[in-house]
């Protein structure tokens, strides 16, 4: 346990460490003027600049200024120095709801109370155009009176994040709690996705374990996509029926929050005071996130911040890996991996060395190389083929700093010419940078 005693800007003292992540630490603090307990989240500016989390942090500040509700962790103020950002937050003395569930399932009336508070908080977020997108017991805190507080809006989205199709497209969240349509990468309704996560949480509170669980991530996703779960025998019939409406894999027929609130089981012992949206929905002095996070204050000059690294790959998350996995590629039932127009492999080499190797191979095969941003390039044949000019796209995705996934696919030209070139020349030449081909058995 790390201990510190500091005075922050003559307004707060902060002491013991409450928790930490990759880019932030949270300390217990106290308002010097009022004596009120607070939690102070300290974010390292240089780290979030390096990994491109500036906009995410700005969004978190904006979102928390919009959602002031009794069951949402309150952001009191945001302060910053040249190197740090400080979120002064409501102190949730009861800790994470996860810690309670980890000890075993909750009694029905207790689980229902938390579920009621969760639904009313999420409904309020949606009324303000905010979609949480990472609802799980670890992000639900409890105050000293045992009231639930939704926290961690780092992955949240605002209504203006929707594309022209009216849907969100960023795949994020925690696999076991995420809705099937989110992983499909075809766009999703943030409201319906949050409702699914609430259903998973309700199951966990009452059962003490997850409805969808498998040591194999791909198998778990199959269960989620089909809503394959089994309620334990102690679940009341009305809970089973409600869960079947919430954990509906079809977002269009999934129950709405308004209908959940009308459900007889949900309404038992309901405290109606918080059902009405709070009128205090905005801070008296809203925080301007742009003034808090100025990329030019630290870590070099503006030119170093805006310089594009042509070899920098797109960052990959667990859901991208799932969707690209051959475990969900049904074409594998009909064609071998060497017959596909699109293949992937994992490499332990850096993005720049992968691109250098691909350029080297392209020169040997007399292919024209055109670089694109984000760790991608296009290889183009010099001669016209039967079905036009052969073009091959190569794209690199960062899984971790040590592993990259490389996707090679034919974008135009004759398929037979491409397959012949891939099997006879490209694949053998790439062997020295390949750690594993996707779809092939590895130790």
* pLDDT, tens digit (0-9, with 9 covering 90-100), for 89-114: 999 999 999 999 988 999 999 999 99
Query: How many angstroms from the chain centroid is the CA of residue 293?
Result: 22
Q: Are residues 248 and 112 in the same domain?
A: yes
Q: Are residues 320 and 376 in the same domain?
A: yes
Q: Would you name the residues annotated as active-site residues?
A: 134
pLDDT the model gives residue 326: 42
Is position 312 annotated in a ligand binding site?
Answer: no
Q: Are residues 215 and 139 in the same domain?
A: yes
Q: Are residues 257 and 123 in the same domain?
A: yes
Q: Are residues 267 and 376 in the same domain?
A: no
pLDDT band of residue 280 (cuts 50, 70, 90) is very low
Model-level pTM? 0.66
Percentage of the chain surpassing pLDDT 70?
A: 79
Does residue 294 belong to any structural domain of this protein? no
Give the integer Cα–Cα distance in Å for 319 and 221: 10
Q: Are residues 352 and 384 in the same domain?
A: yes
Mean pLDDT, to the nearest integer, of 141-159?
90
Query: How many CB atoms sit inside 10 A of residue 329's CB?
Result: 17
Mean pLDDT, to the nearest integer, of 412-434?
87
Percentage of the chain surpassing pLDDT 90?
A: 39
How many distinct structural domains can be found in the chain? 3
Place of tokens 């509906």: 248
Does residue 289 belong to any structural domain of this protein? no
Nearest to 322 by CA among 184, 224, 120, 127: 184
Terminal-residue alpha carbon distance, the chain: 38
What's the CATH number where 381 sits?
3.30.310.80
Q: Are residues 48 and 173 in the same domain?
A: no
Q: Are residues 198 and 166 in the same domain?
A: yes
pLDDT the model gives residue 178: 92
**Contact predicate 400/288, CB 8 Å:** no
Q: Are residues 359 and 415 in the same domain?
A: yes
Domain end, chosen from 61, 91, 121, is at: 91
Does residue 299 belong to any structural domain of this protein? no
Most confident among 257-271, 378-392, 408-422, 429-443 (mean pLDDT): 257-271
**Distance of CA 428 to CAs 249, 259, 396, 422, Å?**
42, 58, 19, 8
Q: Are residues 87 and 107 in the same domain?
A: no
Place of tokens 């996130």: 289
Tell whether the model's pLDDT for residue 332 goes beyond 80.
Answer: no
Domain end, chosen from 91, 111, 128, is at: 91
Does residue 287 belong to any structural domain of this protein? no
Does residue 303 belong to any structural domain of this protein? no
Q: Are residues 72 and 203 in the same domain?
A: no
What's the CATH number where 77 sits?
3.30.200.20
Q: How would you label 283-314 residue by residue, b for 16+ Cβ within 10 Å and e otherwise?
A: beeebebeebbeeeeeeeeeeeeeeeeebebe
pLDDT band of residue 186 (cuts 50, 70, 90) is confident
Q: Are residues 119 and 261 in the same domain?
A: yes
Does residue 206 belong to any structural domain of this protein? yes
Most confident among 48-62, 71-85, 173-187, 322-336 (mean pLDDT): 71-85
Domain end, chosen from 274, 305, 328, is at: 274
What's the CATH number where 229 sits?
1.10.510.10
pLDDT band of residue 350 (cuts 50, 70, 90) is confident
Mean pLDDT, to the nearest integer, of 395-422?
81
Beta strand 314-315 with 388-398: parallel, antiparallel or unpaired?
parallel
Does residue 237 belong to any structural domain of this protein? yes
Domain that holds residue 433: 314-437
């Amino acid at each position: 346990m790390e201990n510190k005693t500091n005075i922050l800007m003559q307004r707060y003292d902060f002491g013991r460490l409450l928790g930490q992540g990759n880019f932030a630490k949270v300390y217990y603090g106290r308002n010097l003027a009022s004596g009120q307990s607070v939690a102070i989240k300290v974010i390292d500016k240089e780290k979030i600049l390096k990994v491109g989390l500036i906009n995410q942090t700005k969004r978190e500040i904006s979102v928390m200024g919009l959602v002031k509700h009794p069951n949402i962790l309150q952001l009191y103020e945001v302060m910053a120095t040249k190197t740090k950002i400080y979120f002064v937050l409501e102190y949730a003395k009861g800790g994470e709801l996860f810690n309670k569930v980890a000890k075993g399932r909750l009694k029905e009336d207790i689980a229902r109370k938390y579920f009621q508070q969760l639904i009313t908080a999420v409904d309020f977020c949606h009324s303000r155009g905010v979609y949480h997108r990472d609802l799980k017991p670890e992000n639900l805190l409890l105050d000293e009176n045992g009231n639930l507080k939704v926290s961690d809006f780092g992955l949240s989205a605002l209504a203006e994040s929707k594309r022209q199709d009216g849907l969100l497209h960023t795949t994020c969240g925690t696999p076991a709690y995420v809705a099937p349509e989110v992983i499909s990468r075809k766009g999703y309704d943030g409201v319906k996705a949050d409702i699914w996560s609430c259903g998973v949480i309700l199951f966990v509170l009452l059962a003490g374990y997850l409805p969808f669980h498998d040591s194999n991530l791909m198998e778990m996703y199959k269960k989620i996509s089909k809503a394959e779960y089994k309620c334990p025998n102690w679940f009341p019939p009305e809970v089973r029926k409600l869960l079947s409406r919430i954990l509906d894999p079809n977002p269009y027929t999934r129950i709405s929050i308004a209908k959940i609130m009308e459900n007889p089981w949900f309404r038992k012992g309901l405290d109606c005071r918080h059902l009405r949206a709070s009128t205090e929905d905005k801070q008296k002095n809203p925080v301007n996130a742009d003034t808090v996070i100025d990329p030019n204050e630290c870590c070099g000059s503006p030119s170093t911040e805006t310089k594009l690294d042509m070899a920098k790959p797109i960052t990959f998350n667990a859901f991208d890996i799932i969707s690209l996995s051959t475990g969900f590629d049904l074409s594998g039932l009909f064609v071998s991996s060497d017959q596909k127009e699109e293949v992937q492999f994992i490499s332990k080499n850096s993005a720049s060395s992968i691109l250098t190797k691909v350029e080297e191979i392209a020169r040997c095969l007399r292919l024209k190389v055109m670089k694109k941003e984000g760790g991608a390039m296009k290889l183009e044949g010099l001669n016209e083929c039967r079905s036009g000019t052969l073009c091959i796209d190569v794209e690199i995705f960062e899984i971790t700093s040590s592993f990259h996934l490389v996707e090679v696919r034919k974008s135009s030209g004759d398929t037979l010419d491409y397959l012949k070139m891939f099997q006879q020349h490209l694949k053998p030449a790439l062997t020295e940078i390949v750690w594993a081909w996707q779809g092939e058995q590895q130790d």
